[in-house]
Amino acid sequence: MPFFYYFDPYYWIILVPAMLIALIAQIQVSSTFNRYSRVQSSRGFTGAQAAEAVLRAHGVTGVTIERVGGNLTDHYDPRTNVIRLSQGVYDSPSVAALGVAAHEAGHAVQYAEHYGPIKLRTAVIPLCNIGSQLSILLIIIGLILYSGPLFGVGVILFAVAVFGQLITLPVEFNASRRAVETLESARLLDGGELAGAKKVLRAAAMTYVAALLMSALQLLRFVLIFLGRNNRGGGRD
């Protein structure tokens, strides 16, 4: 029976709950950011100034801070050594804006200090991209044709992509820790405001955790489907 007509109980048992967790995490980060974007910092520093403070605190120079369009499109580009902050972050003195901007500056500091996990992530990104692009296709073809070799290659490539997500976690948590430490030490936020910034960064980090969980459970689902079909089909190649 073709894969596409095969009833897959693992989709409902394994993948759907993970998808719901990922959706909840995304809703949480949006709602938390929106909540604290309405809370203005008492000292009036903007997101761009917070990013500059993080860089200055760690002695990092030569990093440009630019505006970029969109909402929550903030990122650090190591190829051009540029921190790009969205319009709602760059000029905003909100607690959420300072937290996000400081986090992105934390990534710039990681590259400047040759932080181990980010060097590892940079090295494996090309392999992870290949894995994410080809793995699902090979896995599905392997399932349809009962081909163990094709399925195995697909699983390996998918596992590489999952590994890329795994090593992203310490990178993101470390950038947030650097951000919070500087926001506190440079007195950019007071105690209550700092707690709000922590909530914004924690919610953002949970989206990475949820994405990793969903990918890992997707991998488990494919393996269980393949093993089940092999048992019924006599292990055809």
Each of the 237 residues of the chain gets a pLDDT tens digit; together they read: 444 444 578 888 888 898 999 999 999 999 999 999 999 999 999 999 999 999 999 999 999 999 999 988 999 999 999 999 998 999 999 999 999 999 999 999 999 999 999 999 999 999 999 998 999 999 889 888 888 889 889 999 999 999 999 999 999 999 999 999 999 999 999 989 999 999 999 999 999 999 999 999 998 988 887 777 666 655 454
Could you tell me which of 86, 233, 110 has the C-alpha nearest to residue 173? 110
> Residue 135: its pLDDT value, please?
93
Pairing of strands 64-68, 75-77: unpaired
Write down the catalytic residue from 52, 66, 104, 113. 104
* 104 catalytically annotated: yes
Could you tell me which of 166, 170, 147, 169 has the C-alpha nearest to residue 158? 166
CA torsion 44-49-51-56 (nearest 10°) is -120
Residue pair 103/179 in contact (Cβ under 8 Å)? The answer is yes
Q: Hey, how many other C-beta atoms are within 10 angstroms of the C-beta on 141? A: 15
Q: Which residue has the tokens 């993970």?
A: 18
**Gyration radius (Cα) of the chain, Å:** 21
Tokens of 4: 């596409």
Rounded (10°) angle between helices 16-37 and 191-233: 170
Tokens of 139: 């896995």
**pTM for the model:** 0.87
Residue pair 136/215 in contact (Cβ under 8 Å)? The answer is no
> Residue 3: its pLDDT value, please?
45
